[in-house]
Amino acid sequence: MVERSPVFADDPGPVIPVPVELSSHPGRHCLGADTEVFFPVSELGVLQARLVCTGCPVRVACREWATATGQHGVWGGTTREERAAQRDAEVSAVDPVRPVIAA
Ligand code: SF4
């Protein structure tokens, strides 16, 4: 049985074109790959997608774009949940909770 990610099935995410510097990069590792690989439904699938992204020359830019645009799936070797956690950590670092000073 093929499982589908409930998040992806119900909410395909924003339709924002991939920047041309990513989509047209001749060295990107996903060139010609089946896009289904990047929407895994199991941990093994996530590992397979990460393997494709490993060492990709545009990995950092890819991850940053996916984070900024809230993409679903694996981009830059990271899952949507990992990117959201990273974004939350960065926001917390910029706007830390103000310390409470006892009187
Ligand atoms: S990091 Fe992964 S998804 Fe992004 S361009 Fe490279 S191979 Fe494709």
In this predicted structure, the answer to whether residue 84 has a pLDDT above a threshold of 50 is yes
Ligand 1 centroid vs 31 CA: distance in angstroms?
Answer: 8
Q: Is the pTM value of this prediction over 0.75?
A: yes
By percentage, how much of the chain surpasses pLDDT 90? Answer: 58
In this predicted structure, the answer to whether residue 52 has a pLDDT above a threshold of 90 is yes
Map tokens 């070797």 to a residue.
77
In this predicted structure, the answer to whether residue 40 has a pLDDT above a threshold of 90 is yes
The span from the CA of 55 to the CA of 28, in Å, is 9
Q: Is 73 in the pocket of ligand 1 (CB under 6 A)?
A: no
In this predicted structure, the answer to whether residue 87 has a pLDDT above a threshold of 60 is yes
Q: Is 62 in the pocket of ligand 1 (CB under 6 A)?
A: yes
Q: Is 5 exposed, middle or buried (0-12, 13-18, 19+ CB in 10 A)?
A: middle
By percentage, how much of the chain surpasses pLDDT 70? Answer: 79
Q: Could you give phi then psi for residue 80, rounded to 5 degrees?
A: -60, -40
Reduce the DSSP state of residue 78 to 3 states and report it: strand
Where are the domains positioned within the chain? 16-22+29-94
